[in-house]
Structure 1
Amino acid sequence: MDLDRHTIAAALAPQLHRLATPALVIDLDAVDHNIAAMRRRAGERWRPHLKTLKSAALIARLLAAGVTRCKVATLDELDLALGTADHHGVGLDVLLAYPQHPDGLRAALSRAARSPACRVHYLLDSPEHAALLAYAVPFDRPLAVFLDVDLGMRRTGAPAAVWRAALPALLADPGLRIAGLHGYEGHLEWDDRAGAAAAHDTLCTLARELPATDLEIVTSGTHSYAAALVHPGLAGGPWQHRVSPGTVVLADLHSRAAMTDLGLRQAVVIASRVISTGAGRITLDAGSKALAPDRPPSSARLLGWPGLTPSVRSEEHLVVAVADDIEAPGLGELVLLVPDHVCTSVNLYRHALLLRGAVIVGEAAIEASSRRLWLTEAT
């Protein structure tokens, strides 16, 4: 069952005197529960995006559950995924689902070469991107690529019609091997089933013009996986289809529809302390540098404190409005925050405190948080 604020506070109490807040707290029981729930729903059709996790300790939970395919966005995530798989003796299949410039691709290829038991696929943004990479990066073998199909989000990728016109040249290019299609319909909300169906139809139509051998179609984050899993074309074509929600492993407020659909448990809270009190408010030490900086402050929730609403946030402060006649925590008291967006919250921390069975069992590095400075180490 979900941990409540009293249970978590009791677990943290022995170490509270030395716990620096704000702190990232992860319930491993909930992590394992959520992985199992998604595995029951999607089976081998799940290729989770590791941008949510960013930690070897959490990736190891996926590997232990038999998940051997994933997506990543950054070179840090690629390095972490491959290194964790190597450590556990797993041959991981990774899609680097972010278009690389030539120097970034060279760095990715160099890293992939150090993990020969794993496979890495790369994303082509457009025919022009394919031409740039072919011109700038000499390949000693065909580059396994996924074509990034813009399904209406207008962020990356090219429309299906553009890819269709370029297919003869791409298929004839000895330096490329088209391994699949990538279509992220992140602009769609959970209930937009008509929009999802149209997007998935587009992918299936384009896929039929590609050789069927080992072709994979990757779609769908947390807000559209359910529609993709029941789409008859995606499930019934001469290809493999996989969805890629990663947020479901940890859960957050914005993924409440998926939480209900899968029976997920909240696996992450941010431990914070009250640093100031005043008329109608308290102030916590968890500002935009600690909690979902891409979301409004009112989107977060204080666990177990009804009548308290986050209202104003700056870099190091979160002002919480206290309703009339409502009990509020006092100065120095521990408060637990449930993030609206867990991905951008996890990215802010270097370490997390791990709980299991409502007991602290250790801590974990968030190795792929933040950003690296160099593509490769100096030689």
Structure 2
Amino acid sequence: MSNLPARLSELIGKPVHDIDTPALVIDMDALKRNLVRMADFAKKHHVRWRPHAKLHKSTVLAKMQIKAGAAGVCVQKTAEAEVMVAGGIYNVYISNQVIAPAKLARVAALTQAVASHRGGQIAIAVDSPEGVSRLAKAMTEARTSARSSVATVIDVFVEIDVGQGRCGAQPGEAAVKLALEIRKHPALRFAGLQAYQGKAQHLRSAIERRMAAASATKAVELTCQLLKAHGIAPGLVTGAGTGSFALEAASGVYGELQAGSFMFMDVDYAQNERDPAQPQFEHALFVKTQVISTHASHAVCDAGHKSHAIDSGMPKVHAFEKKSGLDYFNGGDEHGILRPVDGSDRLPALGQLLWLIPGHCDPTVNLHDVMIGVSGGLRNGTVDRIIQVDARGAMT
């Protein structure tokens, strides 16, 4: 942590009240409980767990996840993969399409870089014949120019569209053709199917999520059957997120869960009707803020939209009791407007410290250089670590 500002390093061991505002704070006790619950779930259901590091963008937290039982991490960007590998995370799956030759050359270089590490492996998703061809070219060129006698191979997952309507080949024959194409190239190894249903994660009712997951499972089963008919082992089926992972685990076809947001639990996910089969997770990520102005009808805090993302709605004021009595409203870049909820006239005092639960964790983290880890709770805890957001801005 030698490259951290002195004021941050000096916080370690200090009371939580000494954290300046606005700041992104992790309740480390809640985070660890969330990790244990997910690890226990995966073990009980005999599935692998590979969380998305795009959530936290931190090699420290990635290592905590792996220590808890994760098989490795997922990322969405080549630059995120590079940060993870540089930080000592050697099992990384880029669960996204990479098409640009310059980026593919970086992917191939990463594959070479992790080859000497025990269990080191880079994996990537494809959804088009051109994507396979470009990846094969980059890998072949890297193998040709490498000084190592070991011929590196990259694991390749065929992404199928199981309802997200974003990337992905059509389930069935189109996916089989891609698997056959992958098998033509010595530097590529067909590893299985990427089958992530992103829209299902945010369907509020449990029954809606069950229906979406059932539809995705049918698409996976069809594709697996056709792969077998062509003499190809379907390999690993990977997917699932915090909103639906219990359903994928119960499907009998998914072998790996990519859920990641459960570790922090934002407002959006907390609004879902909980599936009884899924563990109960706690909020662990907060924006600490302070009231800087008071008025008859409202108060103003110093955490505006530069402190938290609003794509999934406004943050929620954390309540140590059952209800906070406050709602957060748009105040612009640097300010938040706090108003009493209906039926209440309670407003915070000037200088009062408050805790906000972000609407969406991932882009909120990307707004900050560091996360401040607190042990012992938000009321009376102490700062025990400063966690750098290593992959902040890693967009390429």
TM-score range, shorter chain: 0.7 to 0.9
Distance 1:371 1:176, change over 3 A: closer
Alignment root-mean-square deviation, CA: 2.6
Taking the aligned partners of 1:40 and 1:212, their CA distance within structure 2 comes to 32
Moved more, 36-45 or 317-326: 317-326
Which residue does 1:352 correspond to in 2? 371
Structure 1 residue 119 corresponds to structure 2 residue 133: no
> Hey, what does 2:132 align to over in structure 1?
130
How far apart, in 2, do the equivalents of 1:131 and 1:112 lie? 17
Match of 2:162 among 151, 166, 169: 151
Check conservation: 2:16, 2:374, Cα contact below 8 A.
Answer: no
Letter in 2 for 1:68: A
- AA aligned to 1:223 is G
TM-score by length of 1: 0.83
Aligned match for 2:330, one of 304, 312, 315: 312
Q: What residue is the counterpart of 1:81 in the other structure? A: 84
Who is 1:5 aligned against? none
Distance 1:225 1:50 in 2: 17
Q: Do structure 1's residue 55 and structure 2's residue 74 form an aligned pair?
A: no
CA distances 1:44-91 after superposition (whole Å, capped 9, x unpaired) = 4211111112112212211222323221112343133323436xxxxx
Q: Tell me if the contact between 2:105 and 2:138 (Cα under 8 Å) persists in the aligned partners.
A: no
**Pairwise CA distance, 1:134:** 3.9
Distance 1:207 1:301 in 2: 46
Deviations 1:334-359 (A, max 9, x none): 11101121112111110111112222
> Once the 2 structures are TM-superposed, how far is the Cα of residue 36 of structure 1 from its aligned partner?
0.7
1:227 aligns with 2:227: no
Q: Which moved more, 1:164-173 or 1:347-356?
A: 164-173
The range that moved more, 191-200 or 315-324, is 315-324
Residue deviations 1:184-224 (CA, integer Å, cap 9, x gap): 10112253212211211211221231566581110111111
Partner of 1:289: 306
Q: Cα gap change, 1:96/1:193 in structure 2, threshold over 3 Å: closer, same or farther?
A: same
Cα offset, 1:13, TM superposition: 7.7
Contact 1:282-1:322 within 8 A present in 2 as well: no
Structure 2 residues not aligned, in runs of 5+:
1-11, 144-151
For residues 78 and 29 of structure 1, the distance between their equivalents in structure 2, rounded to whole angstroms, comes to 27
What does residue range 1-379 of structure 1 map to in structure 2 within 5 Å? 14=15, 16=17, 19-43=19-43, 44-85=47-88, 92-100=90-98, 101-115=100-114, 116-117=116-117, 118-134=120-136, 138-139=140-141, 140=143, 141-161=152-172, 162-188=174-200, 189=203, 190-191=206-207, 192-208=209-225, 209=227, 215-232=235-252, 234=253, 241-256=255-270, 257=272, 261-297=278-314, 299-304=315-320, 306-323=324-341, 325-357=344-376, 358-371=381-394
Whichever residue aligns with residue 254 of structure 1, its letter is D
Structure 1 stretch 361-370 or stretch 201-210: which is displaced more? 201-210
Residues 339 and 345 of structure 1 are in contact (CA less than 8 Å); yes or no, is this contact kept in structure 2?
A: yes
Task: Sort the Cα spacing of 1:259 and 1:339 in 2 relative to 1 into closer, same or farther, 3 A.
Answer: farther
Residue type of the alignment partner of 2:21: T
By how many angstroms is 1:363 displaced? 1.2
Relative to structure 1, is the Cα distance of residues 133 and 212 closer, same or farther in structure 2, using a 3 angstrom cutoff?
A: closer
Instruction: Provide the rounded CA distance (Å) in 2 between the counterparts of 1:125 and 1:78.
Output: 19
Letter in 2 for 1:34: N
Partner of 1:8: none
* Distance in 2 of aligned mates of 1:30 and 1:62: 14
Separation (CA, whole Å) in 2 of partners of 1:345 and 1:30: 18
Identity of aligned residues (%): 25
Task: State the shift of 1:311 in Å.
Answer: 2.0
Distance 1:243 1:197 in 2: 16
State the match for 1:238 in structure 2.
Answer: none
1:26 positional shift: 0.7
User: Quick check: 1:127–1:163 contact (8 Å CA) kept in 2?
Assistant: no
Mind listing any 5+ residue stretches in structure 1 that lack a counterpart? 1-10, 87-91, 236-240
SS in 1 for 2:175: helix
Asked whether the 8 Å contact 2:48–2:71 carries over to 1, the reply is no
Distance 1:328 1:276, change over 3 A: same
For 1:217 and 1:326, locate their aligned partners in 2 and report how far apart those are by CA, in whole Å.
53
**1:13–1:284 Cα change, 3 Å:** farther
Aligned letter for 1:351? V
The answer to whether the 8 Å contact 2:309/2:364 transfers is yes
> How far apart are the structure 1 equivalents of 2:14 and 2:336?
23
Distance 1:221 1:28 in 2: 22
| Equivalent residues of 1:302, 1:309 under 8 A apart | no
Counterpart Cα distance in 1 of 2:269 and 2:305: 20
What is the one-letter code of the residue matched to 1:218?
A: T
Structure 1, residues 139-164: CA drift from partner, whole Å, max 9, x if none?
A: 43554211111112121112114223
